[in-house]
Structure 1
C-alpha cells in the first residue's frame, strides 16, 4: 500500500479508547478516535477511513444506529462492532445492519488484530475487484477480440452462446493466441459479471503453493502461515475462476480439483471444515489433453469434467487476414503510449508481417509492433524496424537466395515488372533494409533503386 490503513475507533469509555488507540498504533495503523456514534458518522464523512472499530452501546447515538448511517454513506467501509453484552440478538442486529464482524468485550487482542487485518484485506480486494471490473468492461469485452476471419467469427459466436450459461469451459490453443482474453469475454458476458473474475496460472507455482493459493489455509498449517487466508476459490465466490495452464498440474492436484468440481466445496490447507463454493470454472491449456489422458499424464475423469464446452482459439497463421487489423490496433495503441505519430505500415513491412508464421501468435505480433514503434523515426513502420527473424523468414518464404542478385525464374504467368519487384523486395528484406547493399547485389545504382521503390509506394 502507498499509505498505512486508517482506523476509526469509537468508544465512550475513555480508558478503553486510549488502550485500543495505543495497541492499534503499535500495529502500524493510523488511528482516528470518536466517543459517540454521531461523531463517528461525521468523521467518516470528513475524511477517508479504511475501517471502523465501534462500541455498540454509547450515550447519544448507538453503534447500531451509526453503523446504518456509515453503510448508507459508504457501504465499502468495513465496520467491526464491540460490545460487553454477548446477546445473540445484538449480534444478529449488527450483522444484518452490515457489520463485517462482531467482537465481545473484554477483547482478545490477538483475535482483534487478525480480524482487523482480514477486514482490511477484504476491503482492499473489493476495491481492486471493482477497479478490475471497470477496466475489463472497457478493455476486455468481445470488442477487443479482433478479427474478421471466419475462424474468429465462429469463436465469437460460440462465446455469445456459451457465456450466459454456467457450463464449465475448456479453452484450447497455442501459447499467445489469447486464451485469457476469451475467458474474460466469457465472464463479462455472463450473469456472473458483477462478481470477481479470479485468474490463477497453474504453471507459475509449486504444487504446495498452488494448493494454498486455490483453497486457502488455516493459521499454522505450515511454516509462515501466521494467519488464516482465503484461497482463490472463495475469492471468486459467485464469479468465475480461470485456471490457466491446467495441463501443468500434478496428478495429486488434479484429484483435488476433480473433488471440487464434483462436490462444489473446498477444505482449506490444514483445516477440516468443508466450505461450499459457487464458482464457474473456465480452464485453458496449450497441451493436447486427450493425448495427455492417453499417456496417463492427465486424469480422464477431470478431463471430462472440464471438457463440457471446448473453445479452440486458432493460431495466427490460420487467420492471416486478421494480421493487418491486429497490427494496426497495436500500432496505434503503442504510438499513443510512446507519444509518437504513426499512420501505418510501409507495404513491404506489412507484406513481411503477412508472410511470417508467428509461432508466438498474437503475443509475438504485439511484441514485434511495440519494438517497431519504439524504433520508428517516421510516420510509417518500415522493414527496418521489424525483428530480423521476420525479414529472414520473408526471404525464405519467397524461395529466393538472399545473397545473389538474381531474379527468380518466370513461370510464364507474371509480367517482368512483377518479377523485378519481387526480386527487389526480397533482396531488400535479406539485407535488413540496407538500400546500398541491395543496389550492389542487384547491380543497379542506389538512385535507380530509390526510384523503383518510390514507384512501389515504398519510401
Structure 2
C-alpha cells in the first residue's frame, strides 16, 4: 500500500515546516496549503487521506473550510489545530465534521496517536461502505433498496442528467452524493443548491454569479454555483420550487453548457452533471403549467424513484440501531438498544416524514431516556400530520356492478371547486387556498372543467 498523504493547512510557515518534517519522519507523504481556499484547490485535483488544519487563517478560516469540505462531499478526516483553544470552537468544529481538535502547544505523542486513529477510522469506514446492510453509507436490506443499490453504479457511470423523485425525508441527497462518489467525477466538486431555500430575487446571482457593479452592493466579481461545480456535479434539490422565469434560464444553461453572470456580456463554458430532486409529481406540474416541459425532459434523462419508509419496513430495525448508536455516542449515553414493544410501535407506524422523521424520533428518545433501553413511553409519534384528513370521515361503498372511477373523481373535483368559489364569492385566490392549491393549479382545474 502507498503511504497515506496528509495535507497541512496553516498560514504559519514555521509550523508548516515543523509538521512537514515530523510527518515525513513518521512515514507519511505531505502536502502543504497556506489557507482553506488553497487547500480546496489542492483537493479538487489531488487525493489526501487526512487534513491537519488551523482554525485562524486568512481568506477561508478552518470552520468555513470544514463546511466547504462537506458541501463538496470530500470525505476526508480533519484534525483541527489552533492556539485559540475554547470549548465553543471545539464543539463547532465537531459539529462541522472535524475528527478531533488539538490546542497549541500540543504534544507530538498526542498528535501521532490522533493521526493513527483518524486514518484507522477512515479505513474501517471505507471497508464498511459495501456491507450486506448498507451501500455507500446508505442503510437498507429491503428488496426496494437493493434495487436502488443495484442501479446506482450504472447511473453513476452514465454522463446523463438524473432526476431523483420521492417523498420528503427519503434520502434523495444521500443518493445524489452516492451517484457522485461512484462516478468518474468523484474527485471533483459536489455542489448542493436548495432551489426552495434561496429567495427568488437572489437565485440568478447565486446560480450564475455576477460581475462587480452588476447591481448595488456588487463590489466584486462572484463565482456562481454552476461555475463552482465545473467538472463535477451540481445537485438541484427541490427543483419543483424553481420559478418559471428561472426555469427558462436554467434550460438555456443545460442546452448551451454555459452560464452568463449578471452584468457580463461573455458566457462562461461549464462542464457539469446535473442531478435534480423533487418530492412533487413533475409530470403533473408540467400538465398544470407550473413546470416547463422542455426542461423536464432535459433533467429527466435518467429517473430514480426512492421508496417511502412505509414500503420498506424491514429496514426500520437497521435504521433504529444505526441512529441509536449515533445519538447515544453523541450524547454520551449508555443505551444498549430498544425494547420489543417500542420497536413494535415503530414497525406499525407509517412514518409520513420517512427516514428523516425516524431519525428525529430516535434522537429525541435518546435525549429523554435515562435507562439502558428505549421504552415506548419515550417515543413521540405523530398520528396525524398537518394538512391530512381522518379517513373515517369519508366512506364510499363500491357498487356490485362497479363504477367509473375517473368520472366519480371528476364529479367530486367539480363539486369542491364550485363550493370553494361559492364560499369565497368568486375570489379565485382565496378559493385556491381553501383547497390547498396554488393559483396556477386552481386555474388549470377550472379550465379543465370549463368553469373559468
TM-score (norm 1): 0.59
- Which is greater in Rg? 1
Structure 2 residue ranges without an equivalent (≥5): 1-8, 21-29, 39-57, 78-121, 130-134, 393-452
Alignment partner for residue 152 of structure 1, among 142, 145, 155?
145
1:74 corresponding residue in structure 2: 32
Structure 1 residue ranges without an equivalent (≥5): 9-40, 49-71, 81-118, 400-459
Are 1:223 and 2:216 an aligned pair? Answer: yes
Alignment partner for residue 382 of structure 2, among 384, 389, 405?
389
In the TM superposition, what is the alpha-carbon distance from 1:389 to its structure 2 partner? Answer: 3.3
- In 1, Cα distance between the equivalents of 2:76 and 2:361? 25
- In 2, Cα distance between the equivalents of 1:383 and 1:229? 52
1:265 corresponding residue in structure 2: 258
SS, match of residue 236 in structure 2: strand
SS, match of residue 203 in structure 1: coil
Q: Is the 8 A contact 1:193 1:239 kept in 2?
A: yes
2:184 corresponding residue in structure 1: 191
2:280 corresponding residue in structure 1: 287
Alignment partner for residue 255 of structure 1, among 241, 248, 252?
248
**C-alpha offsets along residues 196-233 of structure 1, whole Å, 9 cap, x if unaligned?**
10001000012221111111111111222111100111
Cα RMSD (Å) of the superposition?
3.4
In the TM superposition, what is the alpha-carbon distance from 1:73 to its structure 2 partner? Answer: 6.2
In the TM superposition, what is the alpha-carbon distance from 1:281 to its structure 2 partner? Answer: 0.4
Alignment partner for residue 342 of structure 1, among 329, 335, 339?
335
In the TM superposition, what is the alpha-carbon distance from 1:125 to its structure 2 partner? Answer: 7.9
**C-alpha offsets along residues 6-48 of structure 1, whole Å, 9 cap, x if unaligned?**
989xxxxxxxxxxxxxxxxxxxxxxxxxxxxxxxx88974799
In the TM superposition, what is the alpha-carbon distance from 1:161 to its structure 2 partner? Answer: 1.1
Q: How does 1:208-219 map to 2 (within 5 A)?
A: 208-219=201-212
Report the count of equivalent residues.
297
Are 1:238 and 2:198 an aligned pair? Answer: no
SS, match of residue 167 in structure 1: coil
In the TM superposition, what is the alpha-carbon distance from 1:143 to its structure 2 partner? Answer: 3.4
In the TM superposition, what is the alpha-carbon distance from 1:134 to its structure 2 partner? Answer: 2.0
SS, match of residue 335 in structure 2: coil
- In 2, Cα distance between the equivalents of 1:125 and 1:344? 36
TM-score (norm 2): 0.60
1:133 corresponding residue in structure 2: 74
Are 1:363 and 2:304 an aligned pair? Answer: no
- In 2, Cα distance between the equivalents of 1:79 and 1:167? 30
Q: Is the 8 A contact 2:163 2:300 kept in 1?
A: yes
SS, match of residue 322 in structure 1: helix
Could you say if the C-alpha distance between residues 260 and 340 of structure 1 is closer, same or farther in structure 2, counting changes exceeding 3 Å? same
